[in-house]
């Protein structure tokens, strides 16, 4: 479970790393709608970056909060340069790994995982990048703070957390 939660919180780590080293990279904004077992709308933040920790592969992260529910998503794309295209749990080798989560302040959790070592895939996602936006080199990596596109993620319940059903997150950026 520890590995699962680490992947789920990778989006926040990516946003922090991509935006904090010199303050020249400000994450892009997006809108988020949650439906299913948890509902709500929220503003969210996005960014993409290449980092040494991913072997120079592009990482994409998104996070937002709606009421007492926190939503995060992170994916490592099988590319060294951020490109337009569609990536997803059913698109083969386009994604090295991906994970998403929704968790309530009461502790209920829903998760999505794809290609995460030692964890069975669960849930699904489709990430569509229609524009990479401008790139910003910073401290040994390149950031893309304001890409355009959409993300749809279906998360499944973690019954031990008291959650049931599914949560769908739809983000537009």
**Which residue range is the domain that position 79 belongs to?**
2-172
Distance CA 58, CA 114 (A): 16
Give the closest residue to 147 by CA, choosing from 56, 52, 49, 51: 49
- Structure confidence by residue, pLDDT tens digits, 94-113: 888 999 999 999 999 999 99
Distance CA 149, CA 48 (A): 12
- Structure confidence by residue, pLDDT tens digits, 67-99: 999 999 999 999 998 999 999 988 766 888 999
Count of domains observed in the chain? 1
């Amino acid at each position: 479970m520890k590995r699962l939660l680490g992947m789920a919180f990778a989006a926040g780590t990516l946003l922090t790393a991509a935006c904090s080293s010199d303050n020249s990279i400000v994450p892009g904004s997006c809108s988020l709608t949650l439906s299913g077992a948890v509902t709500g709308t929220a503003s969210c933040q996005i960014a993409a970056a290449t980092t040494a920790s991913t072997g120079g592969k592009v990482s994409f992260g998104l996070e937002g909060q709606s009421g007492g529910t926190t939503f995060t998503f992170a994916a490592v794309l099988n590319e060294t340069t951020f490109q337009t295209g569609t990536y997803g749990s059913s698109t083969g080798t386009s994604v090295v790994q991906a994970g998403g989560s929704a968790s309530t302040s009461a502790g209920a959790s829903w998760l999505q995982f794809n290609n995460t070592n030692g964890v069975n895939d669960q849930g699904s996602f489709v990430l569509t990048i229609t524009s990479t936006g401008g790139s910003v080199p910073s401290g040994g990596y390149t950031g893309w703070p304001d890409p355009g596109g959409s993300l749809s993620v279906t998360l499944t319940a973690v019954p031990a957390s008291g959650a049931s059903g599914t949560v769908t997150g739809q983000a537009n950026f």
